[in-house]
C-alpha cells in the first residue's frame, strides 16, 4: 500500500495555548520534524469566546487539529500517525520492526495513561512550582522514568532520544519533560540526560519561546 501524501502544498495545525496545551505540543513537534511547510492557528483556551472558536474549528470542540485542505484529522496520536505515513523519510517511527512495536506501545501508554501525573502536575511551561507528588503520581513518575531507561538501554544506541533518533515516542513524552522541569522532579541520570536533550532541541526551544510570548497577546 502506497503512502498518501498531503493534498495541500501547506498544512495547517490548530493548537491551543503553547504554555498549557500538552496535546497540542505533541503533533506540533512531529509536524516540525517532517520539514513540511505549515501554518499555525492558535485558539486561546482561557478566553470568553474559546468554546465558540473550538466548536467552529473542531468536530470534538478540542485541539489540536491538522487540516489538509478539506481533510480534518483530530486527536494528537492520530495526527502523528498520519504524518508518519505521509512522510516516511522523516522516520517518525523506528525502522526496526521490534523497536517500532515497542515505541508504539510506549506512545499509546502515554496517550491513555498516567492520569494522576496529569492531574497533579499539569503542564505550565512558564511556572516553577515546588510540589510533592502524591504516592499515585510518584508511581506514574517511576513508571515513566523506568520506561525511559528501558528504551534508552535497549534501543537508544548512540542517539540522544528514546529510540536513538527523534520519533513519535519522544513527541508523546515531551509534555512530561516540561512537567519534570516545572515541578523540579528529581530524576535518575539517564532520565535527566534525556530531558536535557529534549529541552535543548530547537523545536522545543521554539515552543517555549511561543509560550513566553502568550502573556503579551
pLDDT digits (tens, 9 = 90+) for 112-147: 999 999 999 999 999 999 999 999 999 999 999 999
Residues in the chain: 217
Q: Which of the 8 DSSP states describes residue 32?
A: H
| Fold type of domain 11-87 | Glutaredoxin (3.40.30)
The whole-angstrom separation of Cα 103 and Cα 163 is 8
What is the model's pTM?
0.95
CB 116 within 8 A of CB 134: yes
**SS3 call for 161:** strand
Which residues of the chain are under the pLDDT cut of 50?
1
The CB density around residue 202, as the number of other CB atoms within 10 Å, is 8
> How confident is the model at residue 61, as a pLDDT?
87
Q: What are phi and psi of 176, to 5 degrees?
A: -65, -40
Which residue is listed with cell 492520569? 115
The domain ranges of the chain are 11-87, 97-204
CB 171 within 8 A of CB 178: no
> How confident is the model at residue 1, as a pLDDT?
44
The architecture of the domain spanning 97-204 is Up-down Bundle (1.20)
> How confident is the model at residue 3, as a pLDDT?
57
Cell numbers at 159, concatenated: 542517539
Amino acid at each position: 500500500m502506497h503512502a498518501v501524501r498531503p493534498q495541500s502544498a501547506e498544512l495547517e495545525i490548530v493548537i491551543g495555548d503553547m504554555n498549557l496545551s500538552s496535546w497540542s505540543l505533541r503533533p506540533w513537534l512531529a509536524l516540525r520534524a517532517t520539514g513540511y511547510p505549515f501554518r499555525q492557528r492558535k485558539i486561546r483556551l482561557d478566553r470568553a469566546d474559546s468554546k465558540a472558536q473550538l466548536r467552529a474549528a473542531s468536530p470534538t470542540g478540542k485541539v489540536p487539529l491538522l487540516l489538509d485542505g478539506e481533510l480534518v484529522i483530530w486527536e494528537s496520536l492520530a495526527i502523528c500517525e498520519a504524518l508518519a505515513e505521509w512522510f516516511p523519510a522523516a522516520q517518525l517511527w523506528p525502522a526496526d520492526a521490534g523497536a517500532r512495536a515497542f515505541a508504539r506501545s510506549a506512545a499509546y501508554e502515554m496517550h491513555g495513561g498516567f492520569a494522576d501525573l496529569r492531574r497533579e502536575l499539569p503542564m505550565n511551561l512558564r511556572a516553577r512550582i515546588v510540589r510533592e507528588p502524591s504516592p499515585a503520581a510518584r508511581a506514574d513518575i517511576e513508571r515513566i522514568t523506568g520506561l525511559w531507561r528501558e528504551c534508552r538501554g535497549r534501543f537508544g544506541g548512540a542517539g540522544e532520544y528514546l529510540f536513538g533518533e527523534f520519533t513519535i515516542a519522544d513527541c508523546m513524552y515531551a509534555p512530561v519533560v516540561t512537567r519534570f522541569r516545572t515541578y523540579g522532579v528529581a530524576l535518575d541520570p539517564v532520565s535527566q540526560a534525556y530531558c536535557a536533550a529534549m529541552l535543548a532541541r530547537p523545536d522545543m526551544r521554539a515552543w517555549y519561546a511561543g509560550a513566553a510570548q502568550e502573556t503579551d497577546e
